[in-house]
Structure formats: C-alpha cells, structure tokens
Amino acid sequence: MRLPSLFFAFVLMSSALFADENSSSAVESSSSVYIGNICDTLKLHSDAVSRTIQLRLDTIRESVWEGLLSASGSALVTTTIHRDLRSVLPIKKNSPYSVPVAVAAQCLVSENQYTWADYSSNAWVEDSLNVNTRLYDIRDVALGDYNSSNTYNWLAFTQGAWPTDDSFDANELMLSHTFDVHAITWHGYSIYYDTTVTVVGTSTTTKISYRIASSVALDSATVFASVTSNIPSGKLVKVQMLRIMLSDEKLIIKDQPTAIAKVPQSHYLLRYKITPTTGGYLVRGPQGEVPQMRSLKGSVVNASEAVKPGLYIVSVPKSGWQKIIIDR
C-alpha cells in the first residue's frame, strides 16, 4: 500500500551528514561528549536496539473552523484534545482519512515498520508496512527554505529506496520541536456545499452537493491555506485541522487529564427541510414544525420567517441541537 497522496516537496540542504554512519560510535569519556541533540546521545550506542527510538501516537489536537473565509473574525472555532484515535471523526462520514500511528527510527537510514490508520466503514483500521526511516539533527541537515528555527529534529520515512537527491514530500516528514522527540505533522480537510435551486412551473427542486479538499503540511498556516485555496468567496466552509503528535514511547503518559476514557456516541441527526422563498429560506423540522433556531453566537433567530444563508444551530422538541448550513 502506498503512503497518502503527496502535495508538495521539501529539498534538503545537507551541510554535514551523520558522521561515520556505518560504523559503531567511538568510545569517549562522558566528560568529553557534547550532547546538544538526541542524535548525540543515540550515536553513543553500538547496538541497533539502543540506537532506535520507538515513536507512537500520543496526542491529536483537533481544531474545527466554521464560517466565511471573507469574514474570518466571526468564524466559530472549536478545539478538542484526543488521546484516543477512535474519538476523532472525519469532517464527513467515510471521508478518506489516513494518519500515522507508529514508526521507529535511528539517526541513520534503517528499515522499520510504519503503522498508520485509515478511516473506513465508520471505524479506524490499522495497517503497516516496512519503510526506510531516519531521524535528522537539524544542525546537520536543514529543511531547505523551511523556517525550522524552532526545530531540534525532523523525521523522514519513505517507501522504497532512499532518495538520492535528499528530497521528501510533506507527508513523509514530521518535526520535533523539543530535545525529547515528539514528531508532529499537520493534516487538514475542508468541506463546503453548493446549492442549486431549479424552478419549473410550480415545482421547485433543491440539489445540495459538497466538495472536500485535504492536505498534509508541517505547520497549521500552510495546511489551512492549502485546503481553502480553491473555495469560492462567499461560501460557508468547515475546516478540520489535526495536529498529530507521535512521541518517544518512553515519554507517553497514558493517564493525563486530557485522556478520553470513552468514545462519545454520535447523536442521531435529523433531516431538516430547507425551502427557498421570497427573502431567503424557510427552515422546517422533519414533520413540518417550526424549529428553535440560533446563530453561532447564540442569538435567537425567528425561524417562523425566511432566514438568510448562513450557519445555524437548530432544534425541535425531543431532539438535541445540531448545526445546519443554508447556502446560496
């Protein structure tokens, strides 16, 4: 199985490769060894096991942005911390998500197992294959023009032969911003809806279609720009950004306060009727009832009258609140 689709590449500028990679480290007294990076520690070991870091999924920070790109100041933004991948839900049911779960690496090229999870049939399913990996010291090998001033190490992994030109795609890279290795990648997804209203005589047909974009990057700004670059102005958009962090398994604390002990069950979503009319759109519940309706800021909206396109929160008796999008 191939790694996820690629979006852009970084060309690496090598200033000094890992010294004497194919031989055991020279024996030095602890007083004469400079430790400025995790690779300075790992290369002191002569056996492969001790030179290898096992990285596993630690935390996913999910940020969801909803609103108009032209009015970003009024957008609704929510953030959730996940310690269990099963609590992460795609932006739309059965969207093709794929996230890294585990990988091992040394400070030289070595073959290791890479594990990822795909979202399929309403569940996360893990798979794995052997890939080539390497953990780099940013002082020795820089990431081209990318601003890595706050980075200690970066991890590269690729299927097949190691690239001779030292170039990798964004979904083959993860950054560590601390001395201890916490490898981070950003995955982004966006969705917006197109509404087509066709009137023939006394018959009105409303067709709603959607478009999804996805991207992988090394920072939030790049991934947000990538998944929203082709969205027409004036469209309501929902953007989901996942900051995925794999950590040295020795550093993972399983019982942190942010841990999610139980996966919440999704409540049943009702199908509301949205009908175009003079001055906007009428919103009605499944039985034709007038719902309670609020804006994203919480103000009450008079649902007995036509409302303008936008993002609203609605509810009918004996049901929970849910969001609906009314698009032009």
- Chain segment 168-218, per-residue pLDDT in tens: 888 899 999 888 888 999 999 999 887 767 777 777 777 777 888 999 999
The confidence score (pLDDT) of residue 164 equals 80
User: Domain segments of the chain: what residues?
Assistant: 9-187+242-251, 273-326
**Tens of pLDDT along 54-82?**
999 999 999 999 888 877 667 788 889 89
Among 298, 275, 297, 295, CA closest to 285? 275
Rounded-to-5 percentages of helix, strand, coil across the chain? 10, 45, 45
The encoded tokens of residue 214 equal: 């996805």
Residues 151 and 177: beta-carbon distance below 8 Å: yes
Rounded distance, CA 185 to CA 152, Å?
15
Q: How many Å apart are CA 96 and CA 30, to the nearest integer?
A: 50
Q: Which residues pair with 282 in a beta bridge?
A: 275
Render pLDDT for 9-63 as a digit per residue (tens, 0 to 9).
444 433 333 333 333 333 333 344 556 688 888 888 888 888 899 999 999 999 9
d(Cα 43, Cα 106) in Å, to the nearest integer? 9
What is the mean predicted confidence (pLDDT) over 140-169? 82
Q: What is the pLDDT of residue 298?
A: 67
